Structures are given as structure tokens and as C-alpha cells.
């Protein structure tokens, strides 16, 4: 059981907001306006929603410090429209772009995007494609997307998907939770986070937080992000699991250590107390025309001709 930091997020104004993505689907979010135009966007993980307790706790911590927050459901999740799909990293990055563009039009300064678990990979991919938010916070994202597949959907599942074209993942009662198609699995396997990480510019300040006791995504993945991203800060929270069940306060403090200074650009580094700092520079969201995402993705990710068996973590 998680340990919330507060019963509900602190905000001067809280209201539901609907943003339409490029596919015409309605994305449902909640805007927490504190009176500040500086805003942080929170992205949930796999089979999760904007109402996940970790997302709510980060919302509470940020709004308490006077930072506005926007949390939302990716398409096919929670209250948002669209079909749930396994993988779907690129579409979710596009969903995030629709959200950031909306907030920009509403005169908000998007100072940071934060993603937990799968959301951590989505914000990384987003930064590589759009390069318009200067602070990216990856909370327990996976570096190698070939790993962890059969641990979640079952041993031998990749061979079965390769043979039959799909797999229905069921809960303990035998009810179908979601379907993994060969196409959606290929999309995950062809998303090369190593190439994505190396493509990030030095102007993108990147902060990774990971728990040392994470059994879902091992902490070694965090060190890989640190190794391949040019302007990177890493903080490992000792004893924390994947959902930071008993370490929510430490997680909030870590995120706040950089998000509170999200308008400051420059190099990520450690000060004497281990907090992330930066040298003055240009930060925040810059409203500008989007690059060609499809061309960028084709450059980074090569589609493999056959589904490959995932390596064990």
C-alpha cells in the first residue's frame, strides 16, 4: 500500500480539461492552477492513469510549492478516448505534444515533463523528437525495451505472438486485460532508447530518479540513461521499489530539487549536498513549429523483420 503525502493535491484552482490529439481523440486531464504560469506535466505509466497515487503525490508536492501541474490520461487509458495498445510509445509522445501545445496556447510555460515507468520512456522519446521542453524527469523508466516483456505477459509469449499474431493477457480470474498484437510488440522492440538518449541535445536537462530495490525495472537501467545522455543527473533512492511505496517523500524531494528550478538551463551537476543544480541559460517550453516526427523516428528506430525473443533482465 502506498503512503500518500496528503489526502488531495493542493491547488488554488482545479478543473478538468479535454485536449484533442492529432487523431481526433479526446485526452482527459486535470489542470491544477496555482496562480503561476509555470507548469509541470505529469505522465503515468503502463496500465495506469492520471489518478495513480504516485502521480497524485507528485501533484501535491509541486502545487504546494506554487508550481502549476497538468496530469492526464494517454489515449486508450483512463478517461481518454482511443483503443488501449501495448507499446504505443510514439503515439503517447504525440499525445504529450498535443498537451504541451495546448498549454503553450493557454500561455503556460511548460518548465518540465515528468514520466513514471513507461511514462519515463515516453518523455525521453518526446524530448528527442520535439526538443521544446528543457527539463525532462524520468522516474524509473526502462532503458532496454527488449527486456521485461515475458516477465509481464508470460513465458513463451513472444514465440506465441510471432506464431499467432497476438496474445490476450488475462488476470488471475481469466478475464482479458488487454491484447498484445505482433504490430504493437514490434513497435516496442523497434523503439531504441539508446539511440533516442544519444540524440538528445546538451540543452536538454535530463534528470533520472530510480529506486535501488526496483524489481520491475532494475536500477542498472538508470545508470545506462546516465551513460548515454549528454546532460544528465542521476539520483538513486536507497531501498525504494518501482512505485516508491515507502519512499514517496524522498521521490517528491528529488523531483522538486530540479522542478522548482525548471526555468534554469545549463549543465546538470551535483552540488555538495547531492542536489541537482544548473548554470544559467535558456529553459522552459519554447512555442515553435514541431519538427517532422516520422522522419526523426525512422532515423532512430529500425523495424525488425521478425519478432525477436526478449533477453532476460
Q: Which of 69-73, 191-195, 299-303 bottoms out in mean pLDDT, i.e. has the lowest?
A: 299-303
- Say what angle helices 53-64 and 248-259 make with each other, to 10 degrees: 50
Classify residue 223 as exposed, middle or buried by CB count within 10 Å of its CB (0-12, 13-18, 19+): middle
109 pLDDT more than 50: yes
- The predicted pLDDT at position 275 comes to 42
47 pLDDT more than 50: yes
Question: To the nearest whole number, what is the mean pLDDT of the chain?
Answer: 86
- The predicted pLDDT at position 292 comes to 57
pLDDT level of residue 308 (50, 70, 90 thresholds): very low
Contact between residue 244 and residue 117 where contact means Cβ atoms under 8 Å apart: no
179 pLDDT more than 60: yes
**Above pLDDT 70, what percent of the chain?**
80
Q: Which of 123-127, 152-156, 231-235, 292-296 bottoms out in mean pLDDT, i.e. has the lowest?
A: 292-296
Residue range 13-144+192-299, CATH number: 3.40.50.1820
- The predicted pLDDT at position 279 comes to 34
Does residue 169 or residue 298 have the better pLDDT? 169
Does residue 289 or residue 118 have the better pLDDT? 118
pLDDT level of residue 266 (50, 70, 90 thresholds): low
pLDDT level of residue 295 (50, 70, 90 thresholds): low
- The predicted pLDDT at position 284 comes to 52
Classify residue 114 as exposed, middle or buried by CB count within 10 Å of its CB (0-12, 13-18, 19+): buried
Average pLDDT over residues 274-298: 47
281 pLDDT more than 70: no
- Spell out the domain ranges in the chain: 13-144+192-299
Classify residue 213 as exposed, middle or buried by CB count within 10 Å of its CB (0-12, 13-18, 19+): middle
Nearest to 233 by CA among 200, 264, 265, 276: 276
Contact between residue 134 and residue 265 where contact means Cβ atoms under 8 Å apart: yes
Query: What confidence tens digit (pLDDT) does each residue in 2-42 have?
Result: 444 444 444 479 999 999 999 999 999 999 999 999 999 99
305 pLDDT more than 60: no
Give the highest mean pLDDT range of 71-75, 176-180, 279-283: 71-75
- The predicted pLDDT at position 110 comes to 97
157 pLDDT more than 60: yes
**Above pLDDT 90, what percent of the chain?**
77
- The predicted pLDDT at position 298 comes to 52
Average pLDDT over residues 230-248: 98
Name residue 50's beta-bridge partners.
none
CA angle 294, 297, 301 (to 5 degrees): 140
Ramachandran angles phi, psi of 188, nearest 5°: -65, -50
Amino acid at each position: 500500500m502506498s503512503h500518500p503525502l496528503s489526502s488531495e493535491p493542493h491547488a488554488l484552482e482545479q478543473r478538468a480539461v479535454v485536449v484533442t490529439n492529432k487523431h481526433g481523440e479526446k485526452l482527459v486531464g486535470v489542470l491544477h492552477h496555482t496562480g503561476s504560469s509555470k507548469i509541470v506535466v505529469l505522465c503515468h505509466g503502463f496500465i495506469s492513469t492520471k489518478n495513480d497515487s504516485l502521480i497524485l503525490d507528485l501533484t501535491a508536492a509541486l502545487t504546494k510549492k506554487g508550481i502549476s501541474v497538468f496530469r492526464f490520461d494517454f489515449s486508450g487509458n483512463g478517461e481518454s478516448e482511443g483503443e488501449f495498445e501495448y507499446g504505443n510509445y510514439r503515439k503517447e509522445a504525440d499525445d504529450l505534444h498535443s498537451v504541451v501545445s495546448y498549454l503553450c496556447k493557454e500561455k503556460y510555460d511548460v518548465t518540465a515533463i515528468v514520466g513514471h515507468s513507461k511514462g519515463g520512456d515516453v518523455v525521453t522519446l518526446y524530448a528527442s523528437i520535439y526538443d521544446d521542453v528543457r527539463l525532462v524527469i524520468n522516474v524509473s523508466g526502462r532503458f532496454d525495451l527488449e527486456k521485461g516483456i515475458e516477465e509481464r505477459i508470460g513465458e513463451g509469449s513472444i514465440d506465441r505472438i510471432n506464431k499467432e499474431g497476438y496474445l490476450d493477457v488475462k488476470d488471475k480470474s481469466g478475464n482479458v486485460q488487454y491484447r498484445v498484437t505482433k504490430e504493437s510488440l514490434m513497435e516496442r522492440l523497434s523503439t531504441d532508447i539508446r539511440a533516442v538518449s544519444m540524440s538528445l541535445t546538451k540543452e536538454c536537462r535530463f534528470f533520472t530518479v530510480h529506486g535501488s530495490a526496483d524489481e520491475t525495472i532494475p536500477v542498472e537501467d538508470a545508470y545506462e540513461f546516465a551513460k548515454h545522455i549528454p546532460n544528465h543527473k542521476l539520483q538513486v533512492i536507497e531501498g525504494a521499489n518501482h512505485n516508491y511505496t515507502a519512499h514517496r517523500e524522498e521521490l517528491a524531494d528529488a523531483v522538486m530539487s530540479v522542478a522548482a528550478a525548471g526555468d534554469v538551463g545549463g549543465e546538470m551537476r551535483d552540488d555538495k549536498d547531492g542536489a541537482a543544480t544548473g548554470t544559467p541559460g535558456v529553459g522552459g517550453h519554447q512555442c515553435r513549429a514541431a519538427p517532422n516526427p516520422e522522419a526523426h523516428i525512422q532515423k532512430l528506430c529500425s523495424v525488425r523483420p521478425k519478432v525477436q525473443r526478449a533477453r532476460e533482465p
